[in-house]
Structure 1
Amino acid sequence: MQNLNFPSYSFRFKNSENKLSIFDVIRKKFIILTPEEWVRQHVVSFLLEEKKYPKSLINVEKVLMVNGLRKRYDVVVFNPNGTIFVLIECKAPEVKISQAVFDQIARYNMTLDAEFLMVTNGLNHYFCQMDFENEKYEFLRELPTYGENKIEERK
């Protein structure tokens, strides 16, 4: 798998029937290693190791309903009260982060109401803070570390 724009993390791998799998510490099982899964696992490690989010507040690949359609989000980080703090959309490295990707995460967030958004293909990362009052998002340099209430440094 290609190098991504994240710190170096150690992962557990398993080869079964000529398919390489990576261990997901959140789902507690091996997942077939696709380019998108490679990005997703780096994001999970980034949240745990760099941003210090508790493992118990992170959820990976769950179904949500958007306009009556079954969709699946990549990663969410919950607040301790159960509301969603961060919604993350992961794409494979070869997928360009376009307006369509931001539209996708915005549609998901109409259901989830996350305070922060992250969009990444592993090479390029975009962080946003929602402004629900004005129905827009503001780009940030980074996500808050666990326990920070707000971001001071804006792009």
Structure 2
Amino acid sequence: MQTLNFPKYSFRFKNSENKISIFDHIRKKFVILQPEEWVRQHCIQFLINDKGFPESLINVEKELKINNLRKRYDIVVFKPDGSIHLIVECKAPHVTINQDTFDQIAKYNLSLNATYLMVTNGINHFYCLIDFNKECYKFLKEIPNYH
């Protein structure tokens, strides 16, 4: 798999029926290793190991309904009170992050009301703080550490 713009992490792999799987610590199972999953697993490790987010507050690949449409988010980090702190949208490294990517995560956030958004393709990472009063987002250099 391609080297990503994240620190180096160690992962558990399994080969079954000529398909390589990677262990997801949040879902507690092996998942097929695709380029987007490679980015997702790095991002999870980044949030836990480098930003200090507790594993217990991280949720991965869950379904949500937006205007009666079923969508799936990549990563959500909750606050201890159950509200949403951060939504992460992961793309494969070859996917360019553009306005459509931000529109996708912004639509998710209409129903989730996260404080922060992160979009990454493993190479480029973008972080935003949501200003609910002004109904806009402000780009940040990095996502704040968990506190």
TM range (shorter): over 0.9
Taking structure 1 as the reference length, what is the TM-score of the superposition? 0.94
Show the 5 A alignment for 1:88-99: 88-99=88-99
Deviations 1:56-103 (A, max 9, x none): 000000000011100000001000000000000000000000100000
Query: How do residues 16-95 of structure 1 correspond to structure 2 at under 5 angstroms?
Result: 16-95=16-95
Q: Equivalents in 2 of 1:15, 1:38: separation in Å? A: 15
Unaligned runs of 5+ in 1: 148-155
| Equivalent residue letter for 2:54 | P
> Which structure is higher in RCO with an 8 Å CA cutoff and minimum separation 6?
2
* 1:152 aligned partner: none
SS of aligned partner of 1:86: strand
Q: Secondary structure at the match of 1:144?
A: coil
Rounded Cα–Cα distance in structure 2 between residues aligned with 1:104 and 1:71: 10
Which 4+ stretches in 1 moved above 4 angstroms? none
Letter of the aligned partner of 2:36 in structure 1? E
In structure 2, runs of 5+ residues without a counterpart are: none
CA RMSD of aligned residues (A): 0.3
Identity %: 65
Q: Give the letter aligned to residue 76 of structure 2.
A: V
Aligned residues: 147
Tell me the secondary structure at the aligned position of residue 139 of structure 2. Answer: strand
Q: Could you tell me how far 1:114 is from its partner in structure 2?
A: 0.2
TM-score by length of 2: 0.99
In 2, Cα distance between equivalents of 1:2 and 1:32: 16
